[in-house]
Chains A and B, each alone.
Chain A
Amino acid sequence: MEKLDIVGQIVGGQVGQIAIREKGGKQIELGDLLVSKEGNSTLILQVFDLVYGSQIPRGTHELMSGINLEKVPYDAEIFEPDLRNYVLAFVKALAKIDSKDSSVAIPKVLPPFFSEVALVTEEDLKFLSRGDDSFYVGKIRSGSKIIDVPVWLPSRDVFSHHILIPATTGRGKSNLVKTILWHVLNEKNVGALVLDPHDEYYGRKEKGLKDHPKAKENLVYYTPNNPQAGANFLVVNLHSIRPEHFNGIVTFSDPQEGAIRTYHKVFGDDWISAILQERTHPNLEDFSKNTLAVLRRVFRLTLGLDVDSDGEIICYNRIFDAGSKGVKTTDQIVKDIESGKVVVLDTSRLADEAELIIGSIIAGKVFERYQNHKAAGELEDKPVVTVVIEEAPRVLGEDVLKNEGNNIFSRIAKEGRKFQVGLTAITQLSSVIPKTILANINTKIILGNEMQQERSAVIASASQDLSSDDRNIASLDKGEAIISSIFVPFAIPIKIPLFDELINNSKNETPKTKAKTKVF
């Protein structure tokens, strides 16, 4: 058996709270992964609390401190201090690994009393091997130390069962999302719709997903702002919008709802233009002028639409078009997603509602198509789809769902996994998302969060027992995370790489070849 670098010894405790005495000269950190070996198995433990331990009564400590502080002329030294004063680390057992076949089991017995424990090594974590269809999220972290063991998650399972990324500002959410999407771009196994309200993922002005070696083939970027060569103008024709796309996003009164349905029935795809241009029809005489005036105001505020002095429809954000532009934009996006591409929409110019309506049109179409693929038995051949949405409570919040009813995003959260369509929901406020939805999100990549209420919501819905990890989560630094998922053997602490490093590494790996192009 290999020689272990012992850092402590099990001295007591109970299931979920095993006490380890730290060896003198060693320093166990909060969050450290430790191992205890017995026969052919290795027990992986994680530190969740540290306390002082001593064989000397507290009063004696206080007296000695007084002697030191008040400079009393006596020598005050503890006899054999390393033996009498120490640190106690409280750990929980995460997993038991059978070294013969690398099988992982949940520990059901306590490790032997006085078992020696060591810091985890790469060798101990060899069992976390990479599957065929997987994406990279970072390296294993033990406390603040990075172990050179990459963590890959199974794409198909993880994306279809939804991902939650809870964190407060400045904890590395964007870096994490970019890292995930960067690896998704390697293959065409995952189609992604990314609603990007900060226009930060593509990398218009700085490094971003556009720098991926396969960006030309697998990345599509839509923006209303002067697209760079290769990017698309984000223009959505008003004909693409149906009344149900407002569901759960904009609240309408019953008369307004009625007017919308009737206008849609009478004017078909041209219903929004008809309301804006105050077109008349015998079937529409029942609606009051006030109702229609309110609807026009709603369209102005949410979609930026108005009518000019010639009666022509204008769009202040230039994203919606009442003419012939953008007729196939949403269909094209759906097609790209279905072919396993990552589609990033720069929605920075849009009001919240308009962004969600565009997301709703596309997500709704994808969902519908995947339902059909399932009915036709073709689902297995299709890439899994994820819809990346920032500030997820805008569509998944308890009050939103209560007041404005269900929307396509909440439907995906509840039913999407049957059809291989999932959400990647990013939020600072997990606590306002209903428990039923949180429970349906089977992977949570938890970043640092100082708000106790938010930590509790995440802990309560995690796939592993994180009840003792409250302090761990609170103390996560930028770029540190814990992955709790039904697709990992235990809650894995990770260090997410810096996105710029990923780009630099990929540049080193792929030498550029130049060939003269013949043009005729």
Chain B
Amino acid sequence: MYTFAHISDCHLGFQKQEKLQKIEQDIFENALDLCLKKKVNFILISGDLFHNSLPDMRVTRYAFRKFKELYEQNIPIYVVYGSHDYSPVSNSVIDLLTDVGYLKKATIVKDSENKICLDFLEDSATGAKIVGLPGRTVGLEKKYYEILDRESLEAEDGFKIFLFHGGIDELKSKATPEMDSMPLSLLPRSFDYYAGGHVHAKSIENGYDGYGTIAYPGTLFIGHHSDWEISTKRTQRGFFIVSFDKKIENIEFVSLQKAEFEFIDFNADGMSASKARSELEKQVENIDPKEKIVFIKIRGELSSGKTSEIDLGKIGEHLRNQGAIDVKINQRQFSSKEYSITPARGSDRDETIKNIFSENIGQVKIKQPELVGQEGVALAQKLLHKLKQPKSLDEKISDYQKRIEDDVNQLLELDEK
């Protein structure tokens, strides 16, 4: 009997706050330590190992260190690119890890003239045959599958694993956030195990004609902002360990210890701003935030007052002072009758932002022409751009604040006090 581990969506480098970065690293290292401890024959990583193709040096260092450890123990790791660590010119850190031999890319293209023809990688210790296709942003990987030579893959005998990164239409659940996905029929049939990534919730399915087990272990910790809320709801995070011989014998989900969470789901619907503020403060006082990640979801429509009258920044600061590891606040469904943001869509992020400004600029009752109409929209976009500038690695916080303030003052043509 052999075993392999199936890990996905580690999103190393997603966290920006120091304590959360430590948790992210600990969970990743813990997962690989468990693989060593359980003496798995090999490991599969179904994409989004890193949050971006070139993560910062801190992340790269600990990842290299850990993969080296597994390499020295002769545990091969087979990977495909995810939509986050994809690089069209092969300069992702994954390629670096592949070049030094710590990782093996499961995508070996024989030919892509008319169809994409793939070659299997055979795991030397177990004889398992592994092949995979990478994920791309906005579901572009679908194009690969449309011209994939499925017949040759299906005709191969032996114990076969298909490694992929993408959502499957038929496997979406109520918990799955909206994402690009493709029909199951685009995956080649007759594989024993389909090692999926991209979907951040754990799921495992059997019983589709012609298909073996289709499994998503989900993210190890947090890889997307929507994961915070899911993680607070006692959702298990971890990875699969699969036992097999000529076919799958057992699948075990290894749950990883995660940070403690505290969840405040606050419905402000119909309240005045002052009432909502005092009610929320009461709820905040009722929790013990020490060494926990606090997630506050505030929703509903205020009957009077503005949403800004509830100083969420101050609440967050209070909780951090009480010892919270970090505070995450979701106010996407929070609005006021007096002032609400009308949503708008666009083909990309910039266009969406522009459309939202255009939809809502009419609510601004100011006489200065540069702050209203299309001129106002353009200014708001520039302002947002300035405010989004990140802090440089070697920059002091006070210098960063000063820099941003100067930029904004210059943009708004304001005199310094």
Residues of chain A at the chain B interface (Cβ within 8 Å): 216, 226-233, 235, 324-329, 332, 514, 516-520
Assess whether A226 is in contact with B210, with CB atoms less than 8 Å apart.
Answer: yes
Which 7 A-B pairs rank lowest in CB-CB distance, beginning with the nearest?
A: A328-B172, A227-B185, A232-B183, A517-B112, A519-B109, A233-B170, A327-B173
15 A–B contact pairs at CB < 8 A? A226-B210, A227-B184, A229-B146, A230-B146, A230-B185, A324-B203, A325-B207, A326-B170, A327-B173, A332-B172, A514-B114, A517-B143, A518-B112, A519-B112, A519-B116
Assess whether B205 is in contact with A325, with CB atoms less than 8 Å apart.
Answer: yes
Given contacts A216-B146, A232-B170, A328-B174, 16 further A-B contacts (CB under 8 A): A226-B209, A229-B146, A229-B185, A231-B185, A232-B184, A233-B170, A233-B209, A325-B205, A328-B176, A332-B172, A514-B114, A517-B116, A517-B144, A519-B112, A520-B86, A520-B134
Q: Which of B90, B145, B150, B170 contacts A329 (CB 8 A)?
A: B170
Chain A contacts for B134, CB-based, 8 A: 519-520
> Is B408's beta carbon under 8 Å from chain A?
no
Assess whether B169 is in contact with A232, with CB atoms less than 8 Å apart.
Answer: yes
Instruction: Give the interface SS of chain B, mostly helix, strand, loop or mixed.
Output: loop
Chain B contacts for A216, CB-based, 8 A: 146
Instruction: Give the interface SS of chain A, mostly helix, strand, loop or mixed.
Output: loop
Knowing A226-B210, A519-B133, A520-B107, the reply to whether A328 touches B146 (Cβ < 8 A) is: no
Q: Which of B174, B183, B208, B210 contacts A231 (CB 8 A)?
A: B183
Smallest CB–CB gap between B88 and chain A, Å?
7
Chain B contacts for A328, CB-based, 8 A: 169, 172-174, 176
Knowing A226-B210, A227-B183, A233-B185, the reply to whether A325 touches B116 (Cβ < 8 A) is: no
Chain B contacts for A229, CB-based, 8 A: 145-146, 150, 185-186
Complex: how many Å from CA A263 to CA B113?
58
> Is B232's beta carbon under 8 Å from chain A?
no
Assess whether B107 is in contact with A233, with CB atoms less than 8 Å apart.
Answer: no
> Is B21's beta carbon under 8 Å from chain A?
no
Knowing A327-B174, A328-B173, A329-B170, the reply to whether A519 touches B184 (Cβ < 8 A) is: no
Chain A contacts for B208, CB-based, 8 A: 233
Chain B contacts for A226, CB-based, 8 A: 209-210
Chain A contacts for B145, CB-based, 8 A: 229
Residues of chain B at the chain A interface (Cβ within 8 Å): 81, 86-88, 90, 107, 109, 112-114, 116, 133-134, 143-147, 150, 169-174, 176, 183-186, 203, 205, 207-210
Smallest CB–CB gap between A130 and chain B, Å?
29
Chain B contacts for A325, CB-based, 8 A: 170-171, 205, 207
Q: Which of A332, A517, A519 contacts B169 (CB 8 A)?
A: A332
Knowing A516-B113, A517-B116, the reply to whether A230 touches B183 (Cβ < 8 A) is: yes
Complex: how many Å from CA A250 to CA B375?
60
Complex: how many Å from CA A514 to CA B113?
8
Smallest CB–CB gap between B205 and chain A, Å?
7
Smallest CB–CB gap between A224 and chain B, Å?
9
Closest to A231 in B: B185
Assess whether A327 is in contact with B172, with CB atoms less than 8 Å apart.
Answer: yes
Smallest CB–CB gap between B173 and chain A, Å?
5
Chain B contacts for A326, CB-based, 8 A: 170
Chain A contacts for B109, CB-based, 8 A: 519
Smallest CB–CB gap between A15 and chain B, Å?
56
Closest to A235 in B: B170
Chain A contacts for B205, CB-based, 8 A: 324-325
Complex: how many Å from CA A519 to CA B207?
30
Complex: how many Å from CA A76 to CA B171?
86
Chain B contacts for A230, CB-based, 8 A: 146, 183, 185-186
Complex: how many Å from CA A235 to CA B109?
33
Smallest CB–CB gap between B145 and chain A, Å?
8
Chain A contacts for B143, CB-based, 8 A: 517
Chain B contacts for A329, CB-based, 8 A: 170
Assess whether A520 is in contact with B172, with CB atoms less than 8 Å apart.
Answer: no
Assess whether A324 is in contact with B173, with CB atoms less than 8 Å apart.
Answer: yes
Closest to B94 in A: A520
Complex: how many Å from CA A216 to CA B133?
20
Smallest CB–CB gap between B187 and chain A, Å?
9
Smallest CB–CB gap between A335 and chain B, Å?
9
Complex: how many Å from CA A328 to CA B185?
17
Knowing A226-B210, A230-B146, A235-B170, the reply to whether A520 touches B185 (Cβ < 8 A) is: no
Assess whether A517 is in contact with B207, with CB atoms less than 8 Å apart.
Answer: no
Chain A contacts for B144, CB-based, 8 A: 517, 519
Closest to B111 in A: A516
Smallest CB–CB gap between A196 and chain B, Å?
17
Chain B contacts for A235, CB-based, 8 A: 170
Complex: how many Å from CA A520 to CA B87?
8
Complex: how many Å from CA A518 to CA B90?
11
Assess whether A519 is in contact with B150, with CB atoms less than 8 Å apart.
Answer: no
Smallest CB–CB gap between B53 and chain A, Å?
11
Closest to A332 in B: B169
Chain A CB within 10 Å, residue with most, of B107, B112, B210: B112
Chain B contacts for A233, CB-based, 8 A: 170, 183-185, 208-209
Q: Which of A327, A516, A520 contacts B90 (CB 8 A)?
A: A520
Complex: how many Å from CA A80 to CA B146?
74
Complex: how many Å from CA A130 to CA B144?
38
Chain A contacts for B112, CB-based, 8 A: 516-519
Chain A contacts for B174, CB-based, 8 A: 327-328
Chain B CB within 10 Å, residue with most, of A231, A233, A332, A516: A233
Smallest CB–CB gap between A338 and chain B, Å?
13
Assess whether B81 is in contact with A520, with CB atoms less than 8 Å apart.
Answer: yes
Complex: how many Å from CA A518 to CA B116?
9
Closest to B173 in A: A327
Chain B contacts for A516, CB-based, 8 A: 112-113
Complex: how many Å from CA A514 to CA B107?
22
Assess whether A519 is in contact with B203, with CB atoms less than 8 Å apart.
Answer: no
Chain B CB within 10 Å, residue with most, of A231, A519, A520: A520
Complex: how many Å from CA A157 to CA B114?
43
Smallest CB–CB gap between A316 and chain B, Å?
14
Complex: how many Å from CA A518 to CA B113?
9
Chain A contacts for B90, CB-based, 8 A: 520
Complex: how many Å from CA A166 to CA B114?
45
Complex: how many Å from CA A3 to CA B28?
88
Assess whether A517 is in contact with B147, with CB atoms less than 8 Å apart.
Answer: yes
Smallest CB–CB gap between B94 and chain A, Å?
10
Complex: how many Å from CA A227 to CA B184?
9
Complex: how many Å from CA A230 to CA B170?
12
Chain A contacts for B88, CB-based, 8 A: 518, 520
Closest to B115 in A: A517
Chain A contacts for B207, CB-based, 8 A: 325
